[in-house]
Amino acid sequence: MTTWEWAWARVQEGELSPAARLLMLRLGYHGGGLTETVAVCAEYLGLSIDAAHKARSALRQAGLAHGRGRSGHPLTLRLRYGAHAVPYQPTCIRLEWAWEQVWVHYLSPTAALVLLRIAQRGYQITTTWSMLASSVGAGCRSSARVASHLLERRGILRIERPDDAGFTLSLVGAPS
């Protein structure tokens, strides 16, 4: 299991805020840890500085990450993924594109989680609103639905056959 897979497993538990789940994925994507200021963290995740600080604190309080540093200075935050996870080496151009979309479009944490989930699974997924919400740790299916429609309005995602029985979400403009 890689740090990316470990982070997704924790995200799907749904016990953290969307911002904390997104930060956990960013840490998992970067091999389990990063050293950066809260401002840099906030910028990359499209969050306010206060929301980024709360997300970092939530990971530490939940025992999922530990960190060192002083306020206003770079903080090293590392996931507590145990001996069984190996650092993830980013090789998927689709995931790199998805992270860039999070930053460029200042996506909400839930929209970013939906986008990253689709990019991780391929160019498209067939799912239901409930299954999508569960896969990104969202508390309810309406959160996943709103996030998906936001991505569609931004031109990043196409929703085909949207009904409660199932539908297909496809990335628009992702590299092959």
Q: Which CATH number is 3-79 given?
A: 1.10.10.10
> Tell me: the pLDDT tens digits for 9-22?
888 887 899 999 99
- Residue 148 has a pLDDT of 94
Domain spans, the chain: 3-79, 93-171
Q: Is the pLDDT of residue 109 over 80?
A: yes
Note whether 3-79 and 93-171 share their fold: yes
Task: Could you please state the CATH topology (level 3) that the domain comprising 93-171 is classified under.
Answer: Arc Repressor Mutant, subunit A (1.10.10)
- Residue 164 has a pLDDT of 65
- Residue 78 has a pLDDT of 79
Map the chain to HEC letters.
CEHHHHHHHHHHHCCCCHHHHHHHHHHHHCCCEEEECHHHHHHHHCCCHHHHHHHHHHHHHCCCEEEECCCCCCEEEEECCCCCCECCCCCCHHHHHHHHHHHHHCCCHHHHHHHHHHHHHCCEEEECHHHHHHHCCCCCHHHHHHHHHHHHHCCCEEEECCCCCCEEEEECCCCC
- Residue 64 has a pLDDT of 86
pTM score, whole prediction: 0.86
Mean pLDDT of all residues in 80-95:
76
